[in-house]
Copies of this chain bind each other. A is one copy, B any other.
Protein backbone atom coordinates (compact mmCIF):
# COMPACT_ATOMS: atom_id res chain seq x y z
CA UNK A 1 0.00 0.00 0.00
CA UNK A 2 2.76 2.41 0.89
CA UNK A 3 4.50 1.66 -2.38
CA UNK A 4 1.33 2.38 -4.35
CA UNK A 5 0.79 5.70 -2.60
CA UNK A 6 4.28 7.00 -3.18
CA UNK A 7 4.45 5.80 -6.77
CA UNK A 8 3.25 9.05 -8.45
CA UNK A 9 5.85 11.03 -6.51
CA UNK A 10 8.58 8.61 -7.59
CA UNK A 11 7.40 8.87 -11.15
CA UNK A 12 7.59 12.66 -10.98
CA UNK A 13 11.17 12.45 -9.66
CA UNK A 14 12.12 9.88 -12.26
CA UNK A 15 11.06 12.35 -14.97
CA UNK A 16 13.86 14.65 -13.93
CA UNK A 17 17.39 14.32 -15.31
CA UNK A 18 20.25 13.78 -12.87
CA UNK A 19 22.27 16.81 -11.80
CA UNK A 20 25.38 14.64 -11.27
CA UNK A 21 28.25 14.80 -13.76
CA UNK A 22 29.19 11.62 -15.68
CA UNK A 23 30.93 9.10 -13.42
CA UNK A 24 34.65 9.77 -13.06
CA UNK A 25 34.38 13.39 -14.16
CA UNK A 26 34.10 16.64 -12.24
CA UNK A 27 31.97 19.74 -12.31
CA UNK A 28 34.04 22.82 -11.63
CA UNK A 29 31.85 25.15 -9.62
CA UNK A 30 33.29 28.66 -9.30
CA UNK A 31 35.15 27.83 -6.07
CA UNK A 32 36.66 24.72 -7.73
CA UNK A 33 37.46 26.69 -10.86
CA UNK A 34 39.26 29.34 -8.79
CA UNK A 35 41.49 26.61 -7.41
CA UNK A 36 42.06 25.10 -10.85
CA UNK A 37 43.02 28.52 -12.21
CA UNK A 38 45.43 29.01 -9.34
CA UNK A 39 47.02 25.57 -9.96
CA UNK A 40 47.33 26.14 -13.69
CA UNK A 41 48.62 29.68 -13.16
CA UNK A 42 51.43 28.38 -10.94
CA UNK A 43 52.28 25.68 -13.48
CA UNK A 44 52.31 28.15 -16.36
CA UNK A 45 54.56 30.55 -14.48
CA UNK A 46 57.21 27.90 -13.81
CA UNK A 47 57.34 26.35 -17.26
CA UNK A 48 57.24 29.74 -18.99
CA UNK A 49 60.20 30.88 -16.89
CA UNK A 50 62.10 28.05 -18.60
CA UNK A 51 61.02 29.44 -21.98
CA UNK A 52 58.33 26.85 -22.78
CA UNK A 53 55.52 28.03 -25.07
CA UNK A 54 51.90 26.95 -24.75
CA UNK A 55 50.14 24.99 -27.53
CA UNK A 56 46.90 23.04 -27.87
CA UNK A 57 45.28 20.64 -30.31
CA UNK A 58 41.78 19.24 -30.95
CA UNK A 59 39.97 17.00 -28.42
CA UNK A 60 39.36 14.35 -31.11
CA UNK A 61 42.25 12.77 -33.01
CA UNK A 62 42.33 9.87 -35.50
CA UNK A 63 42.34 6.51 -33.72
CA UNK A 64 45.57 5.51 -35.54
CA UNK A 65 47.47 8.23 -33.72
CA UNK A 66 47.27 6.15 -30.52
CA UNK A 67 47.05 2.67 -32.02
CA UNK A 68 50.68 2.93 -33.14
CA UNK A 69 52.69 3.63 -30.00
CA UNK A 70 50.58 4.61 -27.01
CA UNK A 71 50.40 1.13 -25.45
CA UNK A 72 47.95 -1.73 -25.56
CA UNK A 73 46.11 -1.19 -22.25
CA UNK A 74 45.12 2.39 -23.06
CA UNK A 75 44.11 1.68 -26.65
CA UNK A 76 42.23 -1.59 -26.08
CA UNK A 77 40.69 -1.02 -22.68
CA UNK A 78 40.63 2.68 -21.87
CA UNK A 79 40.11 4.65 -25.06
CA UNK A 80 36.91 6.61 -25.70
CA UNK A 81 36.29 6.55 -29.43
CA UNK A 82 33.49 7.15 -31.93
CA UNK A 83 32.77 6.86 -35.64
CA UNK A 84 32.05 10.26 -37.12
CA UNK A 85 29.33 10.75 -39.74
CA UNK A 86 31.97 10.27 -42.43
CA UNK A 87 32.94 6.83 -40.98
CA UNK A 88 36.24 8.02 -39.56
CA UNK A 89 37.23 6.36 -36.28
CA UNK A 90 38.06 9.20 -33.90
CA UNK A 91 39.48 8.96 -30.38
CA UNK A 92 38.89 11.35 -27.52
CA UNK A 93 42.53 12.08 -26.70
CA UNK A 94 43.83 9.85 -23.86
CA UNK A 95 47.22 11.55 -23.80
CA UNK A 96 48.86 14.57 -25.41
CA UNK A 97 52.27 13.37 -26.63
CA UNK A 98 50.99 11.98 -29.98
CA UNK A 99 49.28 15.33 -30.72
CA UNK A 100 52.49 17.14 -29.83
CA UNK A 101 54.48 14.81 -32.10
CA UNK A 102 51.99 15.35 -34.95
CA UNK A 103 52.11 19.13 -34.61
CA UNK A 104 55.89 19.37 -34.33
CA UNK A 105 56.27 16.99 -37.29
CA UNK A 106 53.89 19.23 -39.27
CA UNK A 107 56.23 22.21 -39.01
CA UNK A 108 59.47 20.40 -38.43
CA UNK A 109 61.43 22.54 -40.90
CA UNK A 110 60.28 25.94 -39.63
CA UNK A 111 60.20 25.59 -35.84
CA UNK A 112 63.23 27.08 -34.04
CA UNK A 113 65.00 24.37 -32.01
CA UNK A 114 65.10 23.20 -29.35
CA UNK A 115 61.30 23.14 -29.48
CA UNK A 116 60.09 23.80 -25.93
CA UNK A 117 56.33 23.40 -25.66
CA UNK A 118 53.78 22.87 -22.93
CA UNK A 119 50.03 22.35 -22.75
CA UNK A 120 47.38 21.68 -20.09
CA UNK A 121 44.84 19.54 -22.00
CA UNK A 122 41.93 17.54 -20.59
CA UNK A 123 42.41 13.84 -21.32
CA UNK A 124 40.01 10.88 -21.21
CA UNK A 125 40.46 7.28 -20.15
CA UNK A 126 37.84 4.74 -19.25
CA UNK A 127 39.05 3.83 -15.75
CA UNK A 128 37.41 2.56 -12.61
CA UNK A 129 37.19 5.89 -10.74
CA UNK A 130 39.28 5.89 -7.55
CA UNK A 131 41.48 8.27 -5.58
CA UNK A 132 43.86 9.94 -7.97
CA UNK A 133 42.28 8.32 -11.06
CA UNK A 134 39.40 9.89 -12.94
CA UNK A 135 38.00 9.46 -16.43
CA UNK A 136 38.60 13.10 -17.31
CA UNK A 137 41.61 14.85 -15.95
CA UNK A 138 43.80 17.76 -16.92
CA UNK A 139 47.47 17.16 -17.42
CA UNK A 140 50.40 19.53 -17.71
CA UNK A 141 52.54 18.28 -20.61
CA UNK A 142 56.07 19.65 -20.88
CA UNK A 143 58.33 18.57 -23.74
CA UNK A 144 61.59 19.58 -25.33
CA UNK A 145 62.48 18.32 -28.81
CA UNK A 146 65.95 18.69 -30.26
CA UNK A 147 69.01 19.94 -28.42
CA UNK A 148 71.65 17.71 -26.88
CA UNK A 149 69.68 14.76 -25.39
CA UNK A 150 71.66 14.74 -22.15
CA UNK A 151 71.18 18.48 -21.57
CA UNK A 152 67.51 18.18 -22.52
CA UNK A 153 66.93 15.27 -20.11
CA UNK A 154 68.56 17.28 -17.32
CA UNK A 155 66.45 20.35 -18.10
CA UNK A 156 63.20 18.36 -18.06
CA UNK A 157 64.06 17.00 -14.60
CA UNK A 158 64.88 20.55 -13.46
CA UNK A 159 61.52 21.81 -14.71
CA UNK A 160 59.75 18.99 -12.85
CA UNK A 161 61.59 19.86 -9.63
CA UNK A 162 60.98 23.58 -10.27
CA UNK A 163 57.24 22.98 -10.29
CA UNK A 164 57.29 21.35 -6.87
CA UNK A 165 59.59 24.06 -5.52
CA UNK A 166 57.13 26.72 -6.73
CA UNK A 167 54.36 25.04 -4.72
CA UNK A 168 56.66 24.95 -1.67
CA UNK A 169 56.89 21.16 -1.94
CA UNK A 170 60.45 20.67 -3.19
CA UNK A 171 61.47 18.81 -0.04
CA UNK A 172 58.62 16.29 -0.30
CA UNK A 173 59.48 14.75 -3.66
CA UNK A 174 62.08 12.46 -5.13
CA UNK A 175 62.59 11.57 -8.79
CA UNK A 176 63.46 7.97 -9.65
CA UNK A 177 65.27 7.50 -12.94
CA UNK A 178 65.97 4.54 -15.18
CA UNK A 179 66.88 4.02 -18.83
CA UNK A 180 65.03 1.91 -21.39
CA UNK A 181 68.28 0.97 -23.15
CA UNK A 182 69.54 -0.56 -19.90
CA UNK A 183 66.29 -2.53 -19.59
CA UNK A 184 66.71 -3.77 -23.15
CA UNK A 185 70.17 -5.13 -22.18
CA UNK A 186 68.64 -6.87 -19.16
CA UNK A 187 65.78 -8.39 -21.14
CA UNK A 188 68.23 -9.61 -23.75
CA UNK A 189 70.44 -11.18 -21.08
CA UNK A 190 67.35 -12.94 -19.67
CA UNK A 191 66.73 -14.43 -23.09
CA UNK A 192 63.40 -12.65 -23.65
CA UNK A 193 62.16 -12.00 -27.18
CA UNK A 194 60.35 -8.74 -28.09
CA UNK A 195 56.99 -10.03 -26.98
CA UNK A 196 58.37 -11.38 -23.70
CA UNK A 197 60.13 -8.06 -23.10
CA UNK A 198 56.90 -6.14 -23.64
CA UNK A 199 55.02 -8.44 -21.25
CA UNK A 200 57.64 -8.07 -18.54
CA UNK A 201 57.79 -4.30 -19.08
CA UNK A 202 54.04 -4.08 -18.58
CA UNK A 203 54.27 -6.07 -15.33
CA UNK A 204 57.07 -3.87 -14.07
CA UNK A 205 55.13 -0.70 -14.96
CA UNK A 206 52.10 -1.97 -13.04
CA UNK A 207 54.03 -2.92 -9.91
CA UNK A 208 52.81 0.10 -7.87
CA UNK A 209 49.24 -1.09 -8.38
CA UNK A 210 49.73 -4.51 -6.70
CA UNK A 211 51.43 -5.92 -3.64
CA UNK A 212 54.95 -7.40 -4.06
CA UNK A 213 53.71 -10.99 -3.71
CA UNK A 214 51.25 -10.64 -6.60
CA UNK A 215 53.93 -8.91 -8.63
CA UNK A 216 56.49 -11.69 -8.25
CA UNK A 217 53.86 -14.40 -8.75
CA UNK A 218 52.92 -12.88 -12.11
CA UNK A 219 56.49 -12.48 -13.26
CA UNK A 220 56.95 -16.22 -12.95
CA UNK A 221 55.17 -19.03 -14.77
CA UNK A 222 51.37 -19.26 -14.81
CA UNK A 223 50.00 -21.33 -11.92
CA UNK A 224 46.77 -23.13 -12.83
CA UNK A 225 43.69 -21.81 -11.01
CA UNK A 226 45.22 -18.42 -10.13
CA UNK A 227 43.62 -15.27 -11.56
CA UNK A 228 46.10 -12.72 -12.89
CA UNK A 229 45.67 -9.00 -13.43
CA UNK A 230 47.76 -9.20 -16.59
CA UNK A 231 49.06 -12.12 -18.64
CA UNK A 232 51.89 -13.67 -16.51
CA UNK A 233 55.34 -13.20 -18.00
CA UNK A 234 56.36 -16.82 -17.52
CA UNK A 235 59.98 -16.35 -16.40
CA UNK A 236 61.86 -19.35 -15.03
CA UNK A 237 63.07 -19.32 -11.42
CA UNK A 238 66.63 -18.26 -12.27
CA UNK A 239 65.35 -15.33 -14.38
CA UNK A 240 63.06 -14.25 -11.52
CA UNK A 241 66.07 -14.28 -9.20
CA UNK A 242 68.05 -12.32 -11.77
CA UNK A 243 65.31 -9.67 -11.84
CA UNK A 244 65.17 -9.53 -8.01
CA UNK A 245 68.88 -8.88 -7.83
CA UNK A 246 68.63 -6.27 -10.60
CA UNK A 247 65.86 -4.40 -8.79
CA UNK A 248 67.85 -4.10 -5.59
CA UNK A 249 71.27 -3.36 -7.06
CA UNK A 250 72.85 0.10 -7.16
CA UNK A 251 73.92 1.56 -10.46
CA UNK A 252 77.66 0.83 -10.07
CA UNK A 253 77.03 -2.87 -9.60
CA UNK A 254 74.62 -3.04 -12.55
CA UNK A 255 77.19 -1.17 -14.66
CA UNK A 256 79.67 -4.00 -14.31
CA UNK A 257 77.09 -6.56 -15.55
CA UNK A 258 75.35 -4.51 -18.27
CA UNK A 259 77.85 -1.99 -19.64
CA UNK A 260 76.53 -0.02 -22.60
CA UNK A 261 74.74 3.16 -23.70
CA UNK A 262 71.98 2.85 -21.06
CA UNK A 263 74.50 2.91 -18.21
CA UNK A 264 76.56 5.64 -19.86
CA UNK A 265 73.53 7.90 -20.28
CA UNK A 266 72.49 7.40 -16.67
CA UNK A 267 75.99 8.15 -15.36
CA UNK A 268 76.37 11.25 -17.51
CA UNK A 269 72.93 12.53 -16.49
CA UNK A 270 73.68 12.09 -12.78
CA UNK A 271 77.07 13.79 -13.14
CA UNK A 272 75.52 16.74 -14.96
CA UNK A 273 72.73 17.12 -12.40
CA UNK A 274 75.31 17.11 -9.58
CA UNK A 275 77.20 19.93 -11.34
CA UNK A 276 73.90 21.86 -11.38
CA UNK A 277 73.57 21.42 -7.61
CA UNK A 278 70.90 18.68 -7.77
CA UNK A 279 71.75 15.83 -5.37
CA UNK A 280 71.74 12.37 -6.97
CA UNK A 281 72.32 8.82 -5.85
CA UNK A 282 72.92 5.51 -7.58
CA UNK A 283 70.67 3.78 -5.05
CA UNK A 284 67.04 4.45 -4.04
CA UNK A 285 67.84 4.13 -0.36
CA UNK A 286 68.95 7.73 0.15
CA UNK A 287 67.39 11.16 0.51
CA UNK A 288 68.90 12.44 -2.74
CA UNK A 289 66.62 14.44 -5.06
CA UNK A 290 67.24 12.22 -8.09
CA UNK A 291 67.98 8.53 -7.61
CA UNK A 292 68.51 5.49 -9.81
CA UNK A 293 65.71 2.94 -9.62
CA UNK A 294 65.99 -0.03 -12.00
CA UNK A 295 62.30 -0.84 -11.55
CA UNK A 296 61.07 2.35 -13.25
CA UNK A 297 59.58 1.43 -16.64
CA UNK A 298 56.71 3.75 -17.76
CA UNK A 299 53.82 2.32 -19.75
CA UNK A 300 54.15 4.03 -23.12
CA UNK A 301 55.63 1.99 -25.95
CA UNK A 302 57.35 5.05 -27.42
CA UNK A 303 59.96 5.61 -24.71
CA UNK A 304 63.52 4.83 -25.81
CA UNK A 305 66.01 6.20 -23.25
CA UNK A 306 65.72 8.03 -19.93
CA UNK A 307 62.48 7.26 -18.07
CA UNK A 308 61.52 8.71 -14.69
CA UNK A 309 58.82 8.96 -12.09
CA UNK A 310 58.32 11.47 -9.33
CA UNK A 311 57.27 10.21 -5.89
CA UNK A 312 55.96 11.70 -2.71
CA UNK A 313 58.66 10.73 -0.18
CA UNK A 314 55.97 10.10 2.42
CA UNK A 315 55.63 6.31 2.69
CA UNK A 316 51.80 6.60 2.83
CA UNK A 317 51.70 7.50 -0.83
CA UNK A 318 53.22 4.58 -2.73
CA UNK A 319 52.16 5.51 -6.25
CA UNK A 320 54.02 7.76 -8.65
CA UNK A 321 52.82 11.37 -8.78
CA UNK A 322 53.71 11.55 -12.44
CA UNK A 323 56.35 10.45 -14.91
CA UNK A 324 57.89 10.87 -18.30
CA UNK A 325 60.74 9.92 -20.52
CA UNK A 326 62.67 10.20 -23.75
CA UNK A 327 61.08 9.24 -27.08
CA UNK A 328 63.56 9.38 -29.93
CA UNK A 329 61.44 7.81 -32.67
CA UNK A 330 57.88 9.00 -32.07
CA UNK A 331 57.99 11.68 -34.78
CA UNK A 332 58.97 8.90 -37.17
CA UNK A 333 55.23 8.12 -37.36
CA UNK A 334 54.90 11.30 -39.44
CA UNK A 335 58.26 12.22 -40.99
CA UNK A 336 61.37 10.50 -42.24
CA UNK A 337 63.83 12.30 -40.00
CA UNK A 338 62.39 12.24 -36.49
CA UNK A 339 63.38 14.87 -33.96
CA UNK A 340 64.11 13.22 -30.59
CA UNK A 341 62.22 14.48 -27.59
CA UNK A 342 61.80 14.15 -23.84
CA UNK A 343 58.91 15.21 -21.65
CA UNK A 344 56.49 14.48 -18.85
CA UNK A 345 52.80 14.69 -18.02
CA UNK A 346 51.61 15.82 -14.59
CA UNK A 347 47.94 15.21 -13.79
CA UNK A 348 45.87 17.72 -11.86
CA UNK A 349 44.20 15.15 -9.62
CA UNK A 350 47.47 13.63 -8.36
CA UNK A 351 48.99 17.07 -7.90
CA UNK A 352 46.00 18.40 -5.99
CA UNK A 353 45.85 15.34 -3.71
CA UNK A 354 49.57 15.64 -3.05
CA UNK A 355 49.42 19.36 -2.20
CA UNK A 356 46.37 18.86 0.01
CA UNK A 357 48.14 16.06 1.89
CA UNK A 358 50.99 18.45 2.64
CA UNK A 359 48.72 21.40 3.49
CA UNK A 360 49.95 23.48 0.57
CA UNK A 361 46.65 24.55 -1.01
CA UNK A 362 45.89 28.16 -0.06
CA UNK A 363 42.49 29.60 0.75
CA UNK A 364 41.67 31.76 -2.25
CA UNK A 365 39.96 35.13 -1.86
CA UNK A 366 36.54 35.84 -3.23
CA UNK A 367 36.87 37.97 -6.33
CA UNK A 368 33.98 40.47 -5.87
CA UNK A 369 34.96 44.04 -4.93
CA UNK A 370 31.74 46.04 -4.76
CA UNK A 371 27.97 45.64 -4.76
CA UNK A 372 26.00 48.78 -5.59
CA UNK A 373 22.58 48.81 -3.99
CA UNK A 374 19.54 49.77 -6.08
CA UNK A 375 16.67 50.16 -3.61
CA UNK A 376 14.56 52.22 -6.07
CA UNK A 377 14.00 52.66 -9.79
CA UNK A 378 15.62 56.09 -9.55
CA UNK A 379 18.81 54.44 -8.29
CA UNK A 380 19.14 52.16 -11.34
CA UNK A 381 20.71 54.55 -13.88
CA UNK A 382 22.97 56.07 -11.22
CA UNK A 383 24.14 52.61 -10.17
CA UNK A 384 24.80 51.72 -13.82
CA UNK A 385 26.93 54.82 -14.25
CA UNK A 386 28.95 54.16 -11.08
CA UNK A 387 29.35 50.51 -12.02
CA UNK A 388 30.71 51.42 -15.47
CA UNK A 389 33.23 53.85 -13.93
CA UNK A 390 34.47 51.36 -11.34
CA UNK A 391 34.65 48.50 -13.85
CA UNK A 392 36.77 50.68 -16.12
CA UNK A 393 39.14 51.08 -13.16
CA UNK A 394 39.48 47.30 -12.90
CA UNK A 395 37.04 46.62 -10.07
CA UNK A 396 34.59 43.72 -10.02
CA UNK A 397 31.19 45.24 -9.49
CA UNK A 398 27.87 43.50 -8.84
CA UNK A 399 24.38 44.89 -9.21
CA UNK A 400 21.58 43.21 -7.21
CA UNK A 401 19.10 42.96 -10.15
CA UNK A 402 16.29 43.83 -7.75
CA UNK A 403 14.68 46.82 -6.07
CA UNK A 404 14.79 45.24 -2.61
CA UNK A 405 15.55 47.38 0.43
CA UNK A 406 19.04 48.19 1.79
CA UNK A 407 18.90 45.40 4.36
CA UNK A 408 18.26 42.66 1.83
CA UNK A 409 20.82 44.04 -0.62
CA UNK A 410 23.58 44.36 1.98
CA UNK A 411 22.87 40.79 2.99
CA UNK A 412 23.28 39.89 -0.69
CA UNK A 413 26.63 41.72 -0.79
CA UNK A 414 27.83 39.67 2.18
CA UNK A 415 26.59 36.44 0.60
CA UNK A 416 28.55 37.15 -2.57
CA UNK A 417 31.62 38.03 -0.51
CA UNK A 418 31.80 41.63 -1.71
CA UNK A 419 34.31 43.88 0.07
CA UNK A 420 32.20 47.06 -0.17
CA UNK A 421 28.54 47.99 -0.57
CA UNK A 422 27.66 51.32 -2.13
CA UNK A 423 24.40 52.73 -0.77
CA UNK A 424 22.20 54.86 -3.01
CA UNK A 425 19.35 56.12 -0.82
CA UNK A 426 17.04 59.07 -1.47
CA UNK A 427 19.40 61.44 0.30
CA UNK A 428 22.40 60.29 -1.75
CA UNK A 429 20.52 60.51 -5.05
CA UNK A 430 19.35 64.05 -4.21
CA UNK A 431 22.88 65.21 -3.28
CA UNK A 432 24.80 63.41 -6.01
CA UNK A 433 26.68 61.39 -3.41
CA UNK A 434 27.07 57.74 -2.45
CA UNK A 435 27.69 56.09 0.91
CA UNK A 436 30.34 53.41 0.99
CA UNK A 437 29.99 50.65 3.53
CA UNK A 438 33.20 48.74 4.21
CA UNK A 439 31.80 45.29 4.90
CA UNK A 440 35.03 43.99 6.43
CA UNK A 441 35.65 46.94 8.75
CA UNK A 442 31.90 47.59 9.20
CA UNK A 443 32.51 51.32 8.75
CA UNK A 444 30.67 53.79 6.48
CA UNK A 445 31.39 57.15 4.85
CA UNK A 446 29.72 59.35 2.23
CA UNK A 447 31.53 60.73 -0.84
CA UNK A 448 30.77 62.80 -3.93
CA UNK A 449 30.20 60.51 -6.92
CA UNK A 450 33.21 62.00 -8.70
CA UNK A 451 35.52 61.06 -5.80
CA UNK A 452 34.09 57.63 -5.22
CA UNK A 453 36.64 55.45 -6.95
CA UNK A 454 39.61 56.96 -5.13
CA UNK A 455 38.07 55.90 -1.81
CA UNK A 456 37.65 52.27 -2.74
CA UNK A 457 40.79 50.47 -1.75
CA UNK A 458 40.64 46.83 -2.76
CA UNK A 459 43.17 44.07 -2.99
CA UNK A 460 43.48 43.39 -6.69
A interface list, Cβ under 8 A from B: 12, 16-22, 25-30, 33-34, 36-37, 48-51, 53-62, 64-65, 68, 80-82, 84-85, 88, 90, 92, 102-103, 105-107, 112, 114, 116-117, 122, 124, 126, 136, 144, 146-148, 151-152, 155, 158, 162, 272, 275-277, 333-336, 367-368, 380-381, 384-385, 391, 394-403, 412, 415-416
Contacts and interface: CB of A to CB of B under 8 A. Distances in A.
Nearest to A12: B336
* Identical chains bound together, number: 2
B148 A402 contact: yes
B61 A416 contact: no
Contacts of A55: 27-30, 33
Given A54-B33, A276-B384, A90 B22 contact: yes
B106 A144 contact: no
B17 A85 contact: no
A457 B275 CA distance: 29
A106 B399 contact: no
A29 B103 contact: yes
27 contacts: A12-B336, A17-B62, A17-B334, A19-B103, A25-B60, A26-B58, A28-B56, A28-B57, A33-B53, A33-B55, A33-B56, A34-B53, A49-B394, A50-B397, A50-B398, A58-B136, A59-B59, A80-B84, A80-B90, A81-B82, A112-B415, A114-B401, A116-B398, A146-B401, A147-B400, A151-B399, A151-B402
A30 B400 contact: no
A158 B380 CA distance: 14
Contact of A368 (B51, B82, B396): B51
Nearest to A384: B276
Given A25-B60, A29-B55, A60-B136, 17 more contacts: A16-B335, A17-B68, A20-B106, A22-B58, A22-B62, A22-B90, A27-B103, A27-B106, A28-B56, A29-B103, A50-B396, A59-B124, A59-B136, A85-B126, A146-B401, A147-B400, A155-B399
A92 B16 contact: no
A24 B236 CA distance: 53
A63 to B, nearest CB: 11
